[in-house]
Amino acid sequence: MFSKFLINEKTMDFTAKGMAFIAKIGIFIGGLCIGLYSLKNGHFPQGITLGDGFLFLITAGCFGFVYILFVASLTAMGVLCSPVLRPLLNIVFWSLGKLAKNKTGKEAKPKYQLKKFQWKYFLFTPVLVPMLIAFGRSDKTVYLTLTLLSIALYMFYSIYEDMGRMIKSTNSATQGNIDYKEKHLEVMHGSSLKKDRSIMMFIIIFLPIAMGGVTGQLLDSAMRAANIRIDLTTAYIQEPYYSLLTTKSTETTAEKFKKIENITVIFRGFGRSSLVSYLENNKLIKLEIPNEKIIIPRKTNMTPTDQT
């Protein structure tokens, strides 16, 4: 019974450490992507308060979780397509090996095995299918990018999994009755595999960011979900900022706010200002407006019960 308690305690400790690691990675990735989003739009919030910093951490953590789910779903798509991918990739590897043999006289063989099909990866389809539909709706070329990205992630994930198998085999060998020198070599080999496996995990996590394209759409979607970005909305803006965006005349409210429609709020919620963009006469204008000079009404579908 005591041994069972120790096993459960170790499992809980491992789970807690794993969740803490995922949370840290999620916040780091989320913060990095929000930073890239700010860099892309040329807007860096100023006058950030402690509350803004806390909100930033929450937003970064949420986006990091969505991003990790996005990477896991694409990797799962590669595994689910492995009955087709494995023969094709094996033909490619075989051809490259023959080409290397013609040049060097030695045939190069794959060091790692490709991951085989497993039913458990179907758990990611509820996330994968809507994601593919949403991304492909705005740009059909995204399907090609996602396919290539999924194949690349599948290959690196296969290496990652096969390295895990090799590490287990090495650990089993070191626990057996083998020569001291051989045991030392096995330990060194296992340590090298662990380092290489960490590099594979790093590549898997950051490959979508390095490839770009799809990550930008994912980031825009996450910003919309967090209400940081609002596309084609209605806002009320005071002068002189209204005239800098458009020459259209409109009615003025008692507080001297002017109504403007079909404006895109690119960045809001952090700092003392918001970044907006407005398209008029095929000319896109981006403008940074102090928060006290702009009002963005919230659109909610309320029932009579909600209003009481």
What integer pLDDT is reported at residue 6 of this predicted model?
A: 47
The predicted pLDDT at position 305 comes to: 41
Q: What is the DSSP letter of 115?
A: P
CA angle 90, 161, 86 (to 5 degrees): 20
What is the token pair recorded at 237? Answer: 């803006």
Q: What is the pLDDT of residue 182?
A: 57
- Amino acid letter, residue 210: A
How far is 158 from 194, CA to CA, in rounded Å?
Answer: 15
In the chain, domain spans:
2-221, 228-295
Distance between CA atoms of 38 and 278, rounded to whole angstroms? Answer: 18
Which distant-in-sequence residues (6+ apart) come within 8 Å of 187 by Cβ? 170, 174
CB-neighbour burial class of residue 256 (10 A; exposed 0-12, middle 13-18, buried 19+):
exposed
Half-sphere exposure of 246 (CA within 13 A, CB side): 21
The per-residue pLDDT string of the chain (308 residues; one tens digit each, 9 = 90 and over) reads 444 444 566 667 767 776 777 777 777 877 777 777 778 788 777 777 777 777 777 777 777 777 888 889 999 999 999 999 999 988 888 887 778 777 777 766 778 888 998 888 888 888 888 877 777 776 777 788 888 889 999 999 999 998 888 888 776 656 655 555 555 555 666 678 888 888 998 899 888 877 766 667 777 777 777 778 888 888 889 888 888 888 776 767 767 888 888 899 988 877 888 899 988 878 888 899 998 889 888 765 444 344 33
Within 105-234, residue ranges assigned H as helices are 125-138, 142-174, 180-211, 214-225
Per-residue confidence (pLDDT) for residue 10, from 0 to 100: 63
279 Rama sector, left if φ>0, alpha if ψ -120 to 50, beta otherwise: beta
- pTM of the predicted protein model: 0.74
The Cα–Cα gap between 220 and 160 comes to: 30
Instruction: Give the per-residue pLDDT at 80.
Output: 93
Q: Whole-angstrom Cα distance, residue 59 to residue 79?
A: 30
